[in-house]
């Protein structure tokens, strides 16, 4: 498992009864997690000193309950700054487990002998975009949500990247890739973090089980002849790491050679010696 264990301002404190107790900077949040199917003793006193609790509804969705939690606050990872705020469906605007991937491709970018062009698809609030830009890449950031792209821009400014070579685009990722192919544009690295289900700006439906393999095939056409990496993330339990390996081997590696490796990604739980699984990632490197 690839473990995001270099955080100082975030931690999973404990897990039990379908929930994870987390520290986000100065604030403690309690959120549901479908992986937490165990019922272990809650020994840490912070279980009773939370600032926010997301209650899952039996009818789907849920709602937040707050206890002296600001509307917005920030945490840092290395020299990056992320604005956080709780919003619908339990999220805060950041997936901390992805830091293990940020470190991986940042090393590739820093060690390249040339400036790299990186494409970040389904780019959300810009964690991967900021990491790649800070490492020295020219980044194209694409997400279908105008609000998420605006949030990512705010994170870039807070991280000292307001003048970095980042192209911000609100667009349907599939349609954008199709247009880039027609334009003849290429990239040295591609990052994609597709949702399990989603809709584009014009109502385009995305279902990962049906859409992801043909989309990887399509995106492979955007890789330059000297491309260096391809990263795909999955939070869908049906797409295990071996599935990601198979998809990358039969698309990217078949065309460009190189190596493919996939694994679960996770976060260490500070109250135990265990790691909380948080999905899977597949990596291709030339």
Distance CA 251, CA 136 (A): 27
- Does residue 271 sit in helix, strand or coil? coil
Which residue is associated with the tokens 């900077």? 25
Q: What are phi and psi of 252, to 5 degrees?
A: -70, -55
Average pLDDT score over residue span 260-276: 95
Task: Return the pLDDT at 202.
Answer: 67
- Closest-CA residue to 64 (of 47, 38, 85, 44): 85
How many C-beta atoms surround the C-beta of residue 54 within 10 A? Answer: 19
Domain 2-72+80-84: CATH superfamily, name plus number? Golgi alpha-mannosidase II (2.60.40.1180)
Residue 239: band (very low, low, confident or very high) from pLDDT cuts 50, 70, 90: confident
Task: Return the pLDDT at 58.
Answer: 78
Distance CA 230, CA 243 (A): 15
Using the predicted structure, report yes or no on whether residue 90 has a pLDDT greater than 80: yes
Count of positions (residues) in the chain: 286
Output the six-digit token pair for 217: 């095939």
Angle (CA) 121-206-246 rounded to 5° is: 70
- Alpha carbon 267 to its chain's center: 13
Using the predicted structure, report yes or no on whether residue 143 has a pLDDT greater than 70: yes
Task: Return the pLDDT at 240.
Answer: 87
Task: Return the pLDDT at 119.
Answer: 98
Using the predicted structure, report yes or no on whether residue 138 has a pLDDT greater than 70: yes
- Does residue 94 sit in helix, strand or coil? coil
Distance CA 75, CA 158 (A): 11
- Does residue 208 sit in helix, strand or coil? helix
Using the predicted structure, report yes or no on whether residue 201 has a pLDDT greater than 70: no
- Closest-CA residue to 80 (of 18, 190, 138, 156): 156
Q: Tell me whether domains 2-72+80-84 and 96-285 share a fold.
A: no
- Closest-CA residue to 180 (of 217, 225, 221): 221
* Cα distances (angstroms) measured from residue 237 to each of 60, 94, 188, 242: 18, 20, 29, 12
How many C-beta atoms surround the C-beta of residue 165 within 10 A? Answer: 13
Domain boundaries, given as residue ranges, for the chain? 2-72+80-84, 96-285
How many percent of the chain have pLDDT more than 70? 97
Residue 226: band (very low, low, confident or very high) from pLDDT cuts 50, 70, 90: very high
Distance CA 87, CA 64 (A): 8
- Alpha carbon 47 to its chain's center: 27
In whole numbers, what is the pLDDT of the chain averaged over residues? Answer: 94
* pLDDT tens profile 17-43: 999 999 999 999 999 999 999 999 999
How many C-beta atoms surround the C-beta of residue 206 within 10 A? Answer: 20
Distance CA 81, CA 75 (A): 6
Average pLDDT score over residue span 41-70: 92
Chosen CATH of 96-285 out of 3.40.190.10, 3.40.50.150, 3.40.50.720, 3.30.565.10: 3.40.50.150
């Amino acid at each position: 498992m690839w473990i995001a264990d270099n955080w100082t301002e975030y931690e999973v404190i404990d897990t039990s009864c379908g929930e994870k107790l987390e520290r986000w900077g100065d604030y403690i949040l309690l959120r549901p997690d479908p992986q937490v199917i165990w019922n272990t003793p809650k020994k840490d006193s912070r279980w009773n000193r939370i600032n926010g609790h997301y209650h899952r509804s039996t009818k789907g969705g849920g709602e937040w309950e707050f206890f002296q939690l600001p509307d917005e606050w920030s945490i840092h990872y290395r020299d990056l700054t992320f604005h956080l705020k709780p919003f619908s469906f339990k999220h805060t605007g950041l997936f901390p487990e992805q830091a293990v991937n940020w470190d991986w491709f940042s090393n590739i970018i820093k060690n390249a002998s040339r400036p790299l062009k990186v494409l970040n698809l389904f780019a959300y609030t810009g964690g991967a975009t900021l990491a790649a830009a800070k490492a020295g890449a020219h980044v194209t950031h694409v997400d279908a949500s105008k609000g998420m792209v605006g949030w990512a821009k705010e994170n870039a400014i807070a991280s000292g990247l307001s003048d970095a070579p980042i192209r911000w685009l609100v667009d349907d990722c599939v349609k954008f890739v199709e247009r880039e192919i027609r334009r003849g544009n290429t990239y040295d690295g591609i990052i994609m973090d597709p949702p399990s289900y989603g809709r584009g700006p014009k109502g385009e439906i995305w279902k990962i089980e049906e859409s992801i393999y043909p989309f990887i095939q399509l995106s492979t056409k955007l890789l330059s002849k000297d491309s260096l990496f391809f990263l795909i993330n999955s939070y869908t339990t049906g797409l295990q790491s071996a599935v990601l390996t198979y998809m990358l081997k039969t698309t990217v590696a078949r065309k460009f050679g190189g190596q493919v490796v996939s694994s679960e990604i996770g976060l260490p739980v500070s109250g135990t010696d265990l790691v909380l699984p948080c999905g899977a990632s597949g990596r291709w490197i030339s």
